[in-house]
């Protein structure tokens, strides 16, 4: 997204980057659906079907994902009656061992017994497991604690060591300035005729007034912020402008954003950020918890294998004209074009503030 002329605010990357290891989780032995780099496209009907099935099945399903070979939406179930329900809704069922309720119980056990700085965990429905990643700061004793807790959960948890460090870093961003920080916005949103932009909560948490240039006039004021736990904030335009609702593609063009949806594991998406510009990848985990080394933590995130780096935080995660999330964290490197990025689901922020993309 970009504001034009006088204020020229590029709505993309935040400098207050939450860093994550630059490596996707390793595939579990016997997993039939590897994490693809390109992913597959998800249409509006796929988003809707996934959301509808999630509501109908509730904890009986461990989630849905897109089959990288066929593009079909696959929904996990633990009993044949639910498999028939999925088929009747136009989906493809997959019988698995563990329900969503069982995986949530496993995540709760990790929260109680293995909440160690430098770790993250999230659900991968393709593996039918909760995947735990421990960064380089986790000690041998800490790693042993995680493995011990995982060992009591009857195979519901996969534990892996990843390089890098879960941390927060201030880095350069091209967009808005406030309180000595330089940040950017993700999506322009509205409530009636009132215009706002969404950004990461770890930026708005400590800064109220935002300008388009360092020391420039204020263009917006924070009206809401949620961090830690979540990672989103909202800023109301106070300069009377009505900026366009599109994302900067860094090639002279912009992607119009007309809707918002919940990401599906296996789907292709892009990230627009000021450091690594536009990068592509796919969704690898949902319902992700990240425990940063500085004591901050976030829940309910989405993990991808998108390349990103310091300064991309707050950028836009999107698929075509659909807004998916606000960039929250990254590995800080893009070695061989492979990385790791976590985003805050945008729909949670839209609902919290009663606004819509446009």
- The catalytic residue positions are 202, 231, 313
Q: What is the DSSP string of 261-290?
A: ----BTBEEEEEETTTEEEEEEEEEEEEEE
CB 331 within 8 A of CB 164: yes
Give dist(CA 264, CA 87) in Å, integer.
18
Joined together, the tokens standing for residue 14 give 């935040």
Q: Across the strands, what pairs with 10? A: 2
Beta strand 73-77 with 316-319 is unpaired
Count of CB atoms situated within 10 Å of the CB of 70:
10
Return the sign of the alpha-carbon dihedral for residues 349, 11, 167, 290: positive
Joined together, the tokens standing for residue 233 give 């904030």
Q: What is the DSSP string of 90-114?
A: T-EEEE-S--HHHHHHHHHHHHHH-
Count of CB atoms situated within 10 Å of the CB of 157:
23
Beta strand 322-330 with 259-260 is parallel
Q: Across the strands, what pairs with 129? A: 124
CB 304 within 8 A of CB 317: yes
Q: Any residues with CB less than 8 A from the CB of 110 and at least 6 apart, and which?
A: 121, 130, 132, 146, 149, 150, 157, 289
């Amino acid at each position: 997204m970009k504001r034009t002329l006088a204020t020229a605010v590029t709505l993309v990357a935040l400098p207050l980057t939450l860093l994550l290891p630059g490596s996707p989780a390793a595939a579990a032995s016997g997993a039939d659906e590897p994490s693809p780099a390109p992913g597959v496209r998800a249409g509006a009907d796929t988003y809707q079907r996934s959301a509808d099935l999630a509501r109908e099945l509730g904890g009986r399903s461990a989630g849905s994902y897109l089959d990288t070979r066929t593009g079909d939406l696959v929904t996990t179930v633990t009993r044949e009656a639910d498999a028939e329900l999925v088929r009747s809704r136009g989906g493809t069922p997959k019988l698995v061992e563990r329900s969503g309720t069982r995986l949530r119980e496993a995540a709760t056990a990790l929260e109680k017994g293995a909440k160690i700085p430098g770790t993250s965990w999230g659900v991968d429905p393709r593996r039918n497991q909760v995947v735990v990643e421990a960064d380089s700061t986790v000690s041998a004793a800490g790693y042993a604690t995680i493995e011990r807790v995982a060992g009591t959960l009857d195979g519901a948890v996969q534990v892996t060591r990843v390089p890098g460090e879960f941390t927060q870093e201030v880095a350069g961003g091209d967009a808005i300035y406030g309180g000595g920080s330089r940040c950017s916005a993700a999506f322009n949103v509205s409530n009636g005729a009132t215009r706002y932009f969404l950004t990461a909560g770890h930026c708005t948490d400590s800064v109220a007034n935002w300008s388009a240039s360092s020391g420039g006039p204020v263009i917006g004021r924070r009206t809401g912020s949620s961090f830690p736990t979540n990672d989103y904030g909202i800023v109301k335009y106070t300069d009377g402008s009505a900026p366009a609702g599109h994302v900067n593609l860094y090639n002279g063009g912009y992607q119009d954003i007309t809707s918002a949806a919940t990401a599906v594991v296996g789907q292709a998406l892009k990230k627009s950020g000021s450091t690594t510009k536009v990068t592509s990848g796919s969704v690898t985990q949902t319902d992700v918890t990240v425990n940063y080394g500085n004591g901050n933590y976030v829940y309910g995130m989405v993990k991808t294998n998108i390349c990103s780096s310091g300064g991309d935080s707050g950028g836009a995660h999107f698929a075509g004209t659909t807004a998916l999330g606000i960039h929250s964290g990254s590995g800080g490197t893009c070695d061989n074009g492979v990385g790791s990025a976590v985003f805050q689901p945008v729909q949670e922020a839209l609902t919290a503030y009663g606004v819509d993309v446009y």
